[in-house]
Amino acid sequence: MNYFQAIILGVIQGVTEFLPISSDGHLSIAQQFFGLTEVLSFDVFLHLATLVAVIIFFWKDLWTLKIKDWFLVGIGTLPAVVMGLWVKDWLEALMHSAIYVGLFLILSGIFNFISHYFMTHPPENFSKVNWKKALVIGTLQASAIMPGLSRSGSTMMSGLAQKMDKQSTFKFSFFLAIPAILGAVILQGLDLMQGTGLGSVNVGLYLIGGLAATITGLLSLRLLKFVVDKANFAFFGWYCVILGSALLIFQLI
Question: Residue 73 CB: number of other CB atoms within 10 A?
Answer: 20
Q: What's the sign of the alpha-carbon dihedral 84, 86, 88, 92?
A: negative
Question: Residue 34 CB: number of other CB atoms within 10 A?
Answer: 14
DSSP string, 176-191: HHHHHHHHHHHHHHHH
3-class DSSP assignment, residue 129: coil
d(CA 164, CA 133): 9
Region 43-67: mean pLDDT is 92
Kindly state the percentage of the chain with pLDDT values over 90: 56
Region 215-236: mean pLDDT is 94
pLDDT on residue 147: 79
Kindly state the percentage of the chain with pLDDT values over 70: 90
Angle at the Cα of 76 from the Cα atoms of 104 and 9, rounded to 5 degrees: 45
d(CA 183, CA 77): 10
- Report whether pLDDT(197) > 60: no
Is 46:83 a contact under the CB 8 Å cutoff? Answer: no
Q: What's the sign of the alpha-carbon dihedral 208, 214, 217, 222?
A: negative
pLDDT on residue 14: 92
- Give residues with Cβ within 8 angstroms of 154, minimum separation 6: 108, 111, 140, 141, 143, 144
pLDDT on residue 22: 84
- In 3D space, the residue among 28, 27, 23, 20 whose CA is nearest the CA of residue 236 turns out to be 20
**Cα dist. 247→23, 144, 203 in Å?**
15, 19, 34
- In 3D space, the residue among 38, 3, 33 whose CA is nearest the CA of residue 212 turns out to be 3
d(CA 123, CA 116): 13
pLDDT tens for 75-99 read: 999 998 888 777 666 665 666 677 8
Is 164:133 a contact under the CB 8 Å cutoff? Answer: yes
- In 3D space, the residue among 140, 204, 122 whose CA is nearest the CA of residue 176 turns out to be 140
Range picked from 87-91, 202-206, 217-221, 243-247 for highest mean pLDDT:
217-221
- Report whether pLDDT(4) > 80: yes
pLDDT tens for 141-159 read: 988 888 788 999 999 999 9
pLDDT tens for 158-176 read: 999 999 999 999 999 999 9
Residue 191's pLDDT band (cuts 50, 70, 90):
low
Residue 112's pLDDT band (cuts 50, 70, 90):
very high
DSSP state of 38: P
